[in-house]
Structure formats: C-alpha cells, structure tokens
Structure 1
Amino acid sequence: MKEEKKMIIKYFHKPVLTKKSVNNLLTDKNGIYIDATFGGGGHSSYMLKKLNINAKLIAIDQDKDAIKSNLIKDPRLHLFHNNFVNIKDILNKKIIGKISGILIDLGCSFFQLSNPKRGFSYKLHCILDMRMNQDLPYSAQNVVNESSKQKLYKIFHEYGDFKNAIKIADIIIKKRKDKKIITNFELMNLFLIKGNFKKRKRFFSRLFQSIRIEVNNEINILKYFLLKSYEILSSKGRIAVISYHSTEDRIIKHFFKNLSFKIINKKVFKPSKKEIENNSKSRSAKLRIAEKI
C-alpha cells in the first residue's frame, strides 16, 4: 500500500503549459482561483507560488488517487473530491461572482494511463475500465459490449475522428456476439493487421481516447461547466482551458466567441519543443484563455 501511494505521488501527472496558463490567468494576486482538474497538483503548486497570502485556491478532482497524491500543505488550498461539473455546489454562494480565474486541464494523468488497474492503457494488459471516478458504474466494458451500432458509430466518429467509424462499430458488434470483450488486448486484437502494433499506434490512441470520452461523459460535462464558469467568474475574471482533442477545442472556441469574453491569446498557445521532449503526451495540448467582459 505504501509503495502504491509513493507511485501515485511521484508519477501522477506532469503539468502542461504551466507558466503560460498560470501567468496569463492571475490578474489579481489576492483573488479567489479555481484549479478544476487538480491531478498531481502541478498547476496548483505554481499558482500558490504566485499568489499572495490572502488569496484562496479551490482545487477539484474526481479521481481519488489525485486526492491521495496531494503533498501541498498550504492553508490557501481547499481541495475537493468531486467532478468540476458540480462547481456551483462546491462553492459557497457568497463566493459566486467573485472568482478571479479558472484553470482546467482536460487531459488524462500519467498515473491513470500507466496504472493497469485503471484500465486506460492500450500498452499494458488490463481490464477495460477508463473511469476517472471509480465510484461510477459505467465503464469501458459497458461501452464496447452494450452500445448500439449507431451509438458506437457516433463515439468513434465524433470523439476519435474516424472516417471508417461504422466499420469499427461493425467489427466490435460481430466479436461481442461470440464473446464479451473484457480486456484492452481483446479489443486491440480485433484491429491488428498481422500483429503489426507499430503501424496501429495512432489508431489505438484515438480508439481508446474516444471510448474514454464516452465513459466519462467528457463533452457534455465540458459544455455544462463552461456555462457555469461564466456565471461564477467576476467581471474581468479569466478562464484558461487546456484541451487535447479537436472536438473539445471547437467547443471552447465557440463558447468564448458566443459569450461576453475578450480573447487573451488569439493565437492558441502550444507546448514548446523542450516541453514536448520532456513530456511527449503534451504534444497535442492547446491552451486558450479568455476574460469575462
């Protein structure tokens, strides 16, 4: 148990675009800020270094392992085990309308991807799961074994950008008629061409990403949260969103454009070459920042 906790703490997550996001977010160093996806606390830790002693940081994560990983001992930090979609329930009503800034990183953590017990990986043999909140009953097994053909098509087309989404759905449905798909390797074997994994790496990345988005209802939750974030931000309060998928990025752009926001970075921020070298999973990250008018 102690070894597992050490692993959680050490490897939970490498924060992405930390300086770009935080330095452009903190306009009032005495303000109240929200880190909606705490993870390993990398962004929160950097925010606390920049904030004054009277500031407050509300951090949220739905993953119990993220809460366990917390090593930040700071009275300004208030950490909640919850989904950021419940932000208005988490906040005291007196605080709503006084939030100076919100940071949200929509990526998976390194710990989630590298721990076979969590069932996110296509590289390590594991039971299909992919729940960010392990208390939820709906997992990746439910998606691949119970979804209709039309629903599978939608998942792979919209969340994986697959042009052949209907073919992928057909293959899964045909297989599960014979035997329930339980593990990641059972799913992957349906799509291997003569066992050539290397050529299919990008395919599997998108396949597993699309299933994960469905399992955690990520798109609907993002849309709802963005609307709530507008309600709780103060005038001239800022929101910084780091996304990794084209569907997410389109939603964020649309949201900033259609509500009363001033775009802070008209050209999207992306990780530097050095950051990508240190953390390959940051490659697809895009950071957009806006200010409430």
Structure 2
Amino acid sequence: MNPSVSGSPHGEQPRHVPVMLDRVVELLAPALAADGAVVIDATLGLGGHSEALLTAFPNARLIGIDRDLHALELSGRRLAPFGDRATLVHAVYDEIPDVLADLGLSSVNGVLFDLGVSSMQLDEADRGFAYSQDAPLDMRMDDSRGITAAEVLNTYDAPALARILRVYGEEKFAKRIADRVVEAREAEPFTTSGRLVELLYDAIPAPARRTGGHPAKRTFQALRIEVNDELQVLSRAMPAALDAVSVGGRVVVESYQSLEDRMVKQAFTAVTTTDVPPDLPFVPEELQPRFVNVTRGAEKAREPELTDNPRAASVRLRAVERTRGDAA
C-alpha cells in the first residue's frame, strides 16, 4: 500500500496521502463515470484512494476491503461522510468473489490494488514492520490471527528460512543469515526487531552493507511476505479481480517490489494476448483477448511527487480494461 501518512500535532487521525492519486483516478474514470458504477478498493488502508474516488464520482458506490482491523476503523471514520455509498469489509483481497456474493453483486466496474505494507503499519512501532525501531516481531497485517514473524524465526528450520529470504527477499546472503538465526535462537528466542537487525549487520559482509539500502530491508520484506502469505494471496486475487469486472471495467494495480509487479504483469499478459498464429489474417471474435492494456508497461511516479513522498519512488502502476465478456 505504501502511502505516506501525515500525523497531526493534536493527535488527530492520520491522513493518507496516496501514491499517484491523480493518475489512479484518471485511469478509473472511464469505468466509473456512469450512474451506479461500483468500484472495489481491495487494499483500503486509511482510505485515501477511496475518498478521492467517491469525491470524483458522486454517483459511484465503493466497496473497501482490508484485512487490517485498525485500518478499517480509521478509514471508516474518514469515509463516514459518504454514508451508504461506502461499504467496508474485513477480508483479504483474494476473497473478492465471496465479498461480492455476500453483497449480492455479480460484477463491478473497477478494482484498485495498492499493494504492500502501508505507512500506518510501518509507523505503528508495536506492529514490528519497521527495522528502524525496536519492536515486537509481529508483522501481521491482520493481528487478530495467524503466525507472527517471531514464530517464523523461532520455528522454521534453516533451509526453510533460507528459502524465504532468497525467494521473497531476493537476499544474496540468505543461507548465512538463516544459519545465524538458528544458532542465535538456541541461546534465546527472537522477540524483537532490534536483535534481528543486529544479527543482520553481523551476518552481512561490510561491503554488501554499503550498497542496496538498509541491510535489514530484504529480510524484513521476506518475513512480512511469509507471515501474510502475500504472493499466494496476490496470485489468487489477480484472476479474481479480472473475472469480477464487467465489459468496460478496469483493474488498476500499484506494486512496490519486483516480485509483486512481475506477478501482476504476468496476470495482465495472460488476458491481453491471444494464442492464434501471428500471421492469421483475421482473428475471430471468440479468440480475441478479453482485455486490453491501458498503460504502456509499468508507469512510475514523477516529480514533484517523488520529492514530496519518497515512498513513491518504487511504485509501478499497471492497468487493463475489459473489452469483451467470457465465451459462452
């Protein structure tokens, strides 16, 4: 989700400043202009994108989905002025079919994903997402259920830990870190992020620590993805979202790391291409792709947003539009 969040000196609700907000609204506009249009914000967060969409399209209805109960509470306050035009649901975004069935809807006109961890989660120290401050190693987006990062570190064997770090964090020193974790936990289980960060500084060679950002970044990303089953959820959510939109509907996705963006690109490629021979003079309607790309590749944030919100630097934005229904 990776928005920036600005707090108030008087303790007011933090305000969500979404990444590439104007472009997201622009991309969804053709799909949401008609009266009665329905859009899903599959990663509601603090509701910044949702607020902008409800404001820009006064005849549209929004379904906001989030697995984080804290985010739902805060966004609920933010979106309260829109009344019953906003329906908020506690769910994971691969549960889109179930959410729509429960609401009696067969399709929607738009779906938005703003992937990753939100700044609200990073900024709440006791959630354990941030390596910049010592906190309990939790990392659950829904902290009412599921395994914590501490449990992963303290129970997974070295090969399993190494695989997670290598695949989800693209960490070159995955095996070395995993071996150090297993050795260290025999003396004392891991409970806080500070101790893990210290181990990472010790395990990663000094030359490698001087490039590629904070040495804990990749390990924390890998643990967060494992704890929240993020890539498996995304692999189910993409086809679910594509199936949910009606003809003329659009799916817009903001990704913040290469693994997510690669999966989104693959899902979009699968529905915007056809298997017919390239030299075929005429492609029958039933063999035409169901979707077309709206963006050319992945779009990136530009100035002044990059200066105003540094977290926008890693965003990759993709969008597709449905051009025909499923074959009978």
Distance 1:50 1:245 in 2: 29
The structural deviation recorded for 1:149 is: 1.9
Instruction: Name the structure 1 match of 2:248.
Output: 236
Instruction: Name the structure 2 match of 1:56.
Output: 61
Instruction: Name the structure 2 match of 1:187.
Output: 196
**What is the TM-score of this pair, normalised by structure 2?**
0.82
The structural deviation recorded for 1:104 is: 0.5
Distance 1:230 1:117 in 2: 36
- In structure 2, give the amino acid aligned to 1:39: G
Q: Do the aligned partners of 1:96 and 1:231 also contact (CA within 8 Å) in 2?
A: no
Instruction: Name the structure 1 match of 2:297.
Output: 267
Q: 2:170 aligns with which of 124, 145, 161?
A: 161
- In structure 2, give the amino acid aligned to 1:184: S
**CA offset digits 1:218-252 (Å, max 9, x no partner):** 00000101111122110221100111111111100
Structure of larger gyration radius: 2
Alignment of 1:41-80 (within 5 A): 41-53=47-59, 55-70=60-75, 71-72=78-79, 73-74=81-82, 75-80=84-89
The structural deviation recorded for 1:84 is: 1.5
**What is the TM-score of this pair, normalised by structure 1?**
0.91
Q: 1:207 aligns with which of 204, 219, 226?
A: 219
- In structure 1, give the amino acid aligned to 2:235: K
RMSD: 2.2
Q: 1:149 aligns with which of 150, 153, 158?
A: 158
Distance 2:123 2:139 in 1: 12
> What's the % identity of the aligned pairs?
32
Are 2:14 and 1:10 equivalent residues in the alignment? yes
Q: 1:96 aligns with which of 86, 102, 106?
A: 106
- In structure 1, give the amino acid aligned to 2:14: K
- In structure 1, give the amino acid aligned to 2:245: L
Are 2:258 and 1:246 equivalent residues in the alignment? yes
Q: Do the aligned partners of 2:67 and 2:141 also contact (CA within 8 Å) in 1?
A: yes
The structural deviation recorded for 1:7 is: 5.1
Name the CA shift for 1:7/1:15 in 2 (closer, same or farther; >3 Å). farther
SS of corresponding position for 2:243:
helix
Distance 1:274 1:193 in 2: 38
Structure 2: runs of 5 or more not aligned: 1-6, 272-289, 324-328
**CA offset digits 1:165-201 (Å, max 9, x no partner):** 211211111111221111101111112259x9x8485
Distance 2:176 2:263 in 1: 27
Distance 2:38 2:318 in 1: 20
Distance 1:140 1:274 in 2: 36
- In structure 1, give the amino acid aligned to 2:21: T
Q: Do the aligned partners of 1:101 and 1:239 also contact (CA within 8 Å) in 2?
A: yes
The structural deviation recorded for 1:92 is: 3.5
Are 2:103 and 1:129 equivalent residues in the alignment? no
Q: Do the aligned partners of 1:8 and 1:69 also contact (CA within 8 Å) in 2?
A: no
**CA offset digits 1:112-141 (Å, max 9, x no partner):** 101111111111110100000011130101
